[in-house]
């Protein structure tokens, strides 16, 4: 039996603003299995971040419910980690300080959290930078710290909201490769958001195509291509065309 870790049932989100109500998510049904890497792929401004925030417990659904490991999500928790497009690292803390922050704030002993943080710093390829401050790091290195920090809390699921969206093209490819290497070594359940079809196809076990706002699941593709994937393989290019064609176009 497959182990369903995240279950979204009929999830909707409506914002009440001064200028009226805004429906952003419309009855999303989605399940994510243990150690599956699901990519949410959708047009700009469709509601991807809002959906991630609802699953992470940073926003409350106004309809339906989300469960993680069978427990209803009502607020943020250490079982759910988030990596954002621009990682808000604490500028006054070193790489080590940032990575060990979560376990430290949960009272884990210095020895244990240091060992754990070092393991994840090594895993993301930042050994030697433990004592560097974020201002000295490149964009790609900051995202590595963000990934190590999320891993260091040992969450059940990780949400990644366009984590490579601000990187230059070359670094973005490199980080996609790196994420695959890291994930093969330390499998986790990941929900990864992107509006880049190549990135979606390079990473995903399954691509969930979202509609325009108010967003819902349009269709899904199971991606069985062997890894590491080749961006120019005929099957890759074929899927790229096929999936691009079903995505709603925005202006």
Instruction: For residue 45, give the H/E element and its range.
Output: none
* C-alpha triplet 196, 200, 204: angle, nearest 5°: 170
Tell which positions 54-113 bind ligand ATP, by CB under 6 A.
none
- Per DSSP (E only), the strands in 117-198 are 157-161, 189-194
* C-alpha triplet 36, 61, 190: angle, nearest 5°: 15
For residue 89, give the nearest of 128, 12, 46, 143 by alpha carbon. 143
CB nearer Mg ion, residue 166 or residue 206: 166
175 binds ligand ATP (CB under 6 A): no
CB nearer ligand ATP, residue 114 or residue 218: 218
Among 28, 49, 51, 61, binds Mg ion (CB under 5 A): 49
Mask 96-135, x = binds Mg ion (CB under 5 A)?
----------------------------------------
50 binds ligand ATP (CB under 6 A): yes
Tell which positions 207-236 bind ligand ATP, by CB under 6 A.
213
The CB-nearest residue to Mg ion is 49
Among 3, 29, 45, 228, binds ligand ATP (CB under 6 A): 45
Q: Smallest distance, Å, CB 102 to ligand ATP?
A: 24
Give the interface segment with Mg ion, choosing from 4-12, 33-41, 42-50, 131-139 (CB under 5 A): 42-50
Q: Smallest distance, Å, CB 211 to ligand ATP?
A: 11
* Residue that has been written with the tokens 């039996």 in this structure: 1
Q: Is 20 left (phi over 0), alpha (psi -120 to 50) or beta?
A: left
Q: Which residues of 43-78 are buried (b: 16+ CB within 10 A; e: fewer)?
A: beebbbbbbbbbbbbbbebbebebbbeeeebeeeee
Among 6, 24, 137, 141, binds ligand ATP (CB under 6 A): 24
- Collapsed DSSP state (helix, strand, coil) of residue 91: coil
Q: Smallest distance, Å, CB 42 to ligand ATP?
A: 6
Give the interface segment with ligand ATP, choosing from 38-46, 90-98, 176-184, 225-233 (CB under 6 A): 38-46
CB nearer Mg ion, residue 124 or residue 213: 213
Give the Cβ contact number of residue 81 at 10 Å.
25
> Are the C-beta atoms of residues 47 and 8 closer than 8 Å to each other?
no
Chain positions contacting ligand ATP, by CB under 6 A: 15, 17, 22, 24, 44-50, 195, 213
């Amino acid at each position: 039996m497959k182990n369903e870790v995240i279950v979204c049932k009929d999830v909707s989100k409506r914002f009440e603003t001064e200028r009226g109500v805004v429906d952003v998510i419309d009855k999303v049904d989605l399940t994510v299995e243990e150690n599956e890497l699901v990519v949410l792929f959708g047009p700009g401004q469709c509601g991807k971040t809002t959906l991630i925030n609802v699953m992470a417990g940073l926003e409350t659904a106004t309809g339906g419910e989300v469960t993680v490991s069978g427990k209803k999500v009502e607020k943020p928790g250490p079982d759910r980690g988030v990596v954002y497009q621009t990682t808000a690292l604490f500028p006054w803390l070193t790489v080590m300080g940032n990575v060990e922050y979560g376990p430290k704030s949960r009272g884990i002993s210095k020895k244990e959290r240091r060992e754990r943080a070092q393991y994840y710093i090594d895993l993301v390829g930042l050994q030697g930078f433990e004592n560097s401050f974020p201002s000295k790091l490149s964009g790609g290195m900051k995202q590595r710290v963000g990934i190590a920090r999320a891993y260091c809390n040992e969450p059940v699921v990780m949400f990644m909201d366009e984590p490579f969206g601000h990187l230059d093209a070359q670094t973005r490819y490199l980080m996609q490769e790196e994420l695959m290497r890291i994930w093969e070594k330390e499998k986790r359940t990941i929900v990864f958001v992107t509006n880049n079809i190549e990135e979606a196809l390079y990473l995903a076990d399954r691509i969930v195509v979202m509609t325009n706002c108010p967003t819902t699941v349009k269709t899904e593709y199971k991606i069985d291509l062997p890894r590491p994937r080749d961006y120019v393989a005929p099957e890759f290019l074929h899927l790229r065309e096929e999936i691009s064609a079903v995505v709603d176009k925005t202006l």
